[in-house]
Amino acid sequence: MENSPLDSTSEMDAAYQRTLWLRRELHRHNHLYHVLDNPEISDAEYDRMMQELLSLENTYPQFQSADSPTARVGSSMLDAFESTQHSLPMLSLDNAFSEQDIIEFDSRVKKYLQIQSDIVYTAEPKLDGLAVELVYEEGKLTMASTRGDGLTGEVITANIRTIRSVPLLLHADAAPARLEVRGEVFIEKKGFQRLNHMRMMENQPLFANPRNAAAGSLRQLDASVTASRPLVMNIYGVGYLSEFITHSHWDMLCRLKSMGFKINPLIRPHLNLHQVLDFYRELGENRSQLPYEIDGMVIKVDDLRLQESLGIKSRSPRWAIAWKFPAIQATTRVISIDVQVGRTGVLTPVAILEPVSVGGVTVSRATLHNEEEVERKDIRISDTVFVERAGDVIPKVVKVVTEKRTGNEIPFQMPTTCPACGSLVNRLRLEASDVSEVAVRCVNTRCPAQLKENIRHFASKTAFDIDGLGSRLADQLVESGLLKSYADIFQLTAEQLEQLDRMGKKSAKNLVAAISKCRQIPFNRFLYGLGIRHVGENTADILARKWGNLDTLMNQPVEALADIAGIGPVIAESIYSFFQNSGNRDVVQRMLEDGVQILSMPLSETETGNIFNGKSLVLTGTLHHFTRTQAKKLIESAGGKVSGSISRSTAYLVAGDAPGSKLEAARKLGIDIIDESRLLELIGVSAPDDSSTLQ
């Protein structure tokens, strides 16, 4: 770091010069870290400089300034928010919900402008946050306000100053005398999860979604509370400008970025109508991979002169429209709470819901995970609840709308006997890393509900991969008494199967052939198919490559199992207990006697088998030798994990053909970029002749 410029004429002058230098450096490093994702110093060094500046400003109160980086700490306390009128209205946007709506929007624009040629659009993700206006005078942030009713908003300047992606000072050579910018304040998914986890630990109400969390954080009378929240702001446009900058909306955003503002990297300029439609589909496909929530795409006429010609309607512009995605969160009512029994005997409460469309999918059930989760969220039968599809896939109850309670809601109680077999249940506290929960488990190992789930797991594609043995057939086989363990599968005959509902001679013959085909199976998939508690695909692969064959593994003491990287004492005890159980050994022996052949796997050395131990890798582009699933398994077998997005914790980006935006993101963060050949070299394996050979 360069030496600070100190004026030696007096101690106060030296302190003042040091204060000015620290402010400039902290502003610069804040911009590098939070806007450009290109830090030059460590977090510890940044914190040290900040503490020094705080100390100087406390010692010399006359040095304090509203644009100091220390303003981000948020020390002011308000009695109420003041109101302010926007120089130009902050209009809402018309919504579109289909491709036809966008085609009609394009036609309206052309008709109003009386032109036939293609309109040039800029399209951007519609962030799910809170709209805010920032006012800069002579390059300094002087006021910030909420959108409010579009004409008048609430002044939240002290709170906005705490957001590190908001510049307090603009680059002087680029900023106009007065600049009003508009953008979205939001919370990223990981930040939201951490925030709700902290609130849960402090027994505070949870936020229903990131948007509610962002809105609640900005409307805090105590700015120090806002400072503790992981808020981010992206700029998407301007209000009043004291001087002309450009005729293009996209060029305007680029100018704003050069002044120090954070602009969303996914904004796509210079699009015609067909490219707009393609970009919407692309965003929709990738939205679950983004680090933040988006609820659609905003489309704007790029030419600012055309925007002015188009003008506005009563409350919305004619030159922009919001194309919404199908909702991924909705409200519905809990009809009842059922209890399901899993393959390990754990009882799981499941909310039976009034059917509701969430993200274009009708949802009528949502897991409630465990009894503690139900109690913590206080979910009752007949409650109105928020439901979302986690990762746009798995439905879950987010929050109860307690304001809609009538007094007729019924609290849930976990049963004391198994709903499937009537056996007594026991309660066991499970400890795994930082997670602790009470599991209620059926103690009957012959429980039909457990057996059904075990059969489904055993026959799944990542285990024995028995084509034709699906959930419905598994239920029939258990209920008819044909299957009392998964070893019985290998003794099924076509004649027995023909007696089942909807099972003709051809289907029965095909199933028997599929069972015969799966008798040869790699050791890792055999282990995974056994359904040992805590043994997933990755753990099964570690075990198979460590010992190579079943006999050796079955006779390992628990200490030897626990000593393996990636296993630990909890998983080791589960594996040891499984193979010490005489019933389990009998089932395994019966399968071997019925012709199941376990294919041994090559033993892995510590230095190659765990080359990526604890490291995160990201895949992008098209690979030549493997599918994404196969490459993921290969990385996991080497101790690594595969993430869907680039972050500072990413160790490697594995880049195939046409890598896309992740490559640029990795370069900005200085992440090691390797190709498929280098990946195989690091792991110590050769490329297969045919990608299908990788198990």
**Hey, which residues are catalytic here?**
126
* Burial of 303 from C-beta contacts in 10 A (0-12 / 13-18 / 19+): buried
Question: Encoding tokens for residue 323?
Answer: 């194309």
Concatenate the DSSP letters of all residues of 552-596 into one string.
HHHT--HHHHHTSTTTHHHHHHHHHHHHH-HHHHHHHHHHHHTT-
Nearest residue to 257 via CA among 240, 271, 245, 275: 245
Contacts of 198 (CB under 8 A, 6+ apart): none
Q: Are strands 384-390 and 380-381 parallel, antiparallel or unpaired?
A: unpaired
Give the integer Cα–Cα distance in Å for 328 and 189. 14
| Encoded amino acid at 256, one letter | L
Sign of CA dihedral 307, 312, 317, 320: negative
Give the integer Cα–Cα distance in Å for 156 and 153. 9
Give the integer Cα–Cα distance in Å for 571 and 533. 8
The answer to whether the beta carbons of residues 52 and 46 sit under 8 Å apart is: no
Determine the straight-line distance between the first and last CA of the chain, rounded to whole angstroms. 51
Kindly report the CA angle at 265 between 259 and 266, in degrees rounded to 5? 140
Residues facing 96 on adjacent strands = 323
Contacts of 2 (CB under 8 A, 6+ apart): none
E runs forming strands in 288-360: 294-301, 320-324, 329-341, 347-358
Nearest residue to 372 via CA among 408, 414, 331: 414
Q: Are strands 616-620 and 641-643 parallel, antiparallel or unpaired?
A: parallel
| Encoded amino acid at 513, one letter | A
